Amino acid sequence: MNFSELGLPEVLLRAITKLGHEQPTEVQGLAIPLILEQHDLLAAAQTGTGKTGAFALPILARMRSCGPKGCAPRALIMTPTRELATQVAGSFRDYGQFASVRTETVFGGVAMVPQIKALRRGIDVLVATPGRLLDHVTQRTVDLSRVEILVLDEADRMLDMGFLPPIRRITELLPKTRQSLLFSATFSPEVRKLAAGLLSSPREVDVAPRTVTADTVAQRVLHVTRERKRDLLLHLLTEGDGNGALGRTLVFARTRFGAERLAEQLDRDGVAATAIHGNKSQSQRLRALEHFRRGKVRALVATDVAARGIDVSGISHVVNFELPKAAEDYVHRIGRTGRAGASGIAVSLVSGDERGQLKDIERLLGRRLETTEIEGFTTAAPSQQDSRPRPAHRRHNGPGNRNGHGGYGRDRQQPGSRERFHDAPRAQHPGKAAKRVVNQKPR
């Protein structure tokens, strides 16, 4: 199948040819005809599968320029992050470069005045994050009464980020008769519940089951103590794992503070690095992405939320400095490398307290991940370590103990938490009592 067989107009086919796209991806081939036939759609497709084109092309095919000022948007695309909003709007402009269709974005972290001016000039397609869009709704600077097509992109992430109430408020302002499209990485029960309230007799397209990762991405696990993680990351970036130093690398940290601190430490250690997270302004985030894209920095340290929408070609490695809390986020992370048929490597630095999360990831993938070792840094895999049972009860669990936990010490048994506490390395929180034993002179 080629794009001309999908029923797209000539102005879009010209743009597709100029962009060098020869054949539609699987999700594009399945979704575009259904959207052109004006069906509601529930689609499972991960980042990197061409999903933006799957809804942008048929929407552009239906849009016509609204003309002079005061024209309200006819298509509304909601995304969870600023970066993804910028990326989606860029795709609309690329595909619509020969069509008279105007696209604008509204998102937080930047001034509202330029956005208000753009909205007043009149637009056809509006790409927005829910929070900032509600700000415009409250100030009556946007008119949603003419929206014909609604798209929720990465709906699962928007639900994870708590956007359900804003989404409901916004959809109540839209015309009842409209076409609604929902794209998600998974068909989780929460996503299906959201779809049931928004979509009318939807068709389904499922091209990216959540357990599938790209065959072009080699996945490796390095077991390491939490205290040695930064040293190991620096070693990988400078010396490598026997196959040369890591190239353009996207590093994932769990928190905004952790991402910023790690980037600063790498930079001080001689590896050009920068961070991208929710505490950064939009201009700072765009500058960080541009430096990473142009090779001014080798390592970009990101949080899961900020990484949504990062579409940088040539990322050779993804490093999970800390494993994500949700196993599905692991799939999203490593999908940033090995794109468009290129090969990539995903490396996870796993400390003792993260073994439960590793098991969740392997359960999701349906297989064990390859474990490798680097002399002087990594520890043996859990299966190779001493498997003798540890005491079920330890001292220092009583109230007022010296480790400062006051009756809820870290080794206290809780239902379902045995593995989490007993597998954690004791050296991480040695306590004063342990120090006395270590420093005691032999008699």
The residues spanned by each domain of the chain are 3-206, 217-384, 388-433
Question: Tokens in use for 340?
Answer: 């468009």
The structure's pTM equals 0.60
Question: Tokens in use for 130?
Answer: 């829910």
306 pLDDT higher than 70: no
Cα–Cα distance for residue pair 211/328, rounded to 1 Å:
8
Provide the pairing of β-strand 41-44 with 203-206.
Answer: parallel
What pLDDT band is residue 308 in, cutting at 50, 70 and 90?
low
Q: Where on the phi/psi map is residue 390: left (φ > 0), alpha (ψ -120 to 50), or beta?
A: beta
- Max Cα distance, the chain (Å): 93
What pLDDT band is residue 268 in, cutting at 50, 70 and 90?
very high
Give me the sign of the Cα torsion angle 211, 212, 214, 220: positive
351 pLDDT higher than 80: yes
**Of the candidates 323, 345, 159, which has an alpha carbon nearest to the alpha carbon of residue 249?**
345
Secondary structure percentages of the chain, helix, strand, coil, to 5: 40, 15, 45
What pLDDT band is residue 77 in, cutting at 50, 70 and 90?
very high
Least confident of 73-87, 125-139, 208-222, 328-342: 208-222
Q: Looking at domain 217-384, which CATH architecture does it have? A: 3-Layer(aba) Sandwich (3.40)
What's the whole-number mean pLDDT along residues 245-261?
90
Q: What percent of the chain has pLDDT over 90?
A: 50
Please name the residue that has the structure tokens 């026997």: 242
| pLDDT at residue 242, rounded to an integer | 65
Least confident of 33-47, 328-342, 376-390, 400-414: 400-414
pLDDT tens across 99-112, in order? 989 999 999 888 99
C-alpha count within 13 angstroms, C-beta hemisphere, residue 26: 11
pLDDT tens across 153-183, in order? 999 888 877 889 999 999 999 999 999 999 9
| pLDDT at residue 400, rounded to an integer | 41
Find how far residue 156's CA is from the centre of its chain: 11
Cα–Cα distance for residue pair 204/34, rounded to 1 Å:
10
Least confident of 158-162, 224-228, 235-239, 308-312: 308-312
Q: Write the CB contacts of 150 (distance below 8 Å, at least 6 apart in sequence).
A: 75, 76, 78, 171, 174, 178, 179, 180, 181, 198
Higher pLDDT, 47 or 332: 332
CA angle, corner 160, sides to 158 and 165, nearest 5? 60
Please name the residue that has the structure tokens 């061409």: 50
Higher pLDDT, 126 or 410: 126
Higher pLDDT, 127 or 158: 127
What pLDDT band is residue 217 in, cutting at 50, 70 and 90?
confident
| pLDDT at residue 214, rounded to an integer | 62
Q: In what order do the strands lie in the sheet with 203-206?
A: 103-106, 125-128, 75-78, 149-152, 179-184, 41-44, 203-206
What pLDDT band is residue 71 in, cutting at 50, 70 and 90?
confident
- The CATH class of the 3-206 domain is alpha beta
C-alpha count within 13 angstroms, C-beta hemisphere, residue 262: 29
Helix 355-365 with 327-334: angle, nearest 10 deg = 70
For residue 353, report the phi and psi dihedrals to the nearest 5 degrees.
-80, 0
* Single-letter residue type at 74: R
229 pLDDT higher than 60: yes
Least confident of 9-13, 61-65, 275-279, 358-362: 61-65
> According to the 3-state scheme, what is the secondary structure of 270-302?
CCCEEEECCCCCHHHHHHHHHHHHCCCCCEEEE
| pLDDT at residue 162, rounded to an integer | 83
392 pLDDT higher than 50: no
| pLDDT at residue 432, rounded to an integer | 40
337 pLDDT higher than 50: yes
**CB 232, CB 222: distance < 8 Å:** yes
| pLDDT at residue 176, rounded to an integer | 93
| pLDDT at residue 213, rounded to an integer | 60
Higher pLDDT, 59 or 158: 59
* Single-letter residue type at 41: L
**CB 377, CB 228: distance < 8 Å:** yes
Cα–Cα distance for residue pair 259/271, rounded to 1 Å:
15
* Single-letter residue type at 251: V
Please name the residue that has the structure tokens 């905004």: 256
Long-range contacts of 165-173 (CB under 8 A, 24+ apart): 166/130, 166/131, 166/133, 166/134, 167/78, 167/130, 167/194, 168/197, 169/134, 169/137, 170/78, 170/130, 170/133, 170/134, 170/137, 170/144, 171/198, 173/137, 173/144, 173/145
* Single-letter residue type at 55: F
Please name the residue that has the structure tokens 């397209």: 205
Cα–Cα distance for residue pair 278/305, rounded to 1 Å:
7
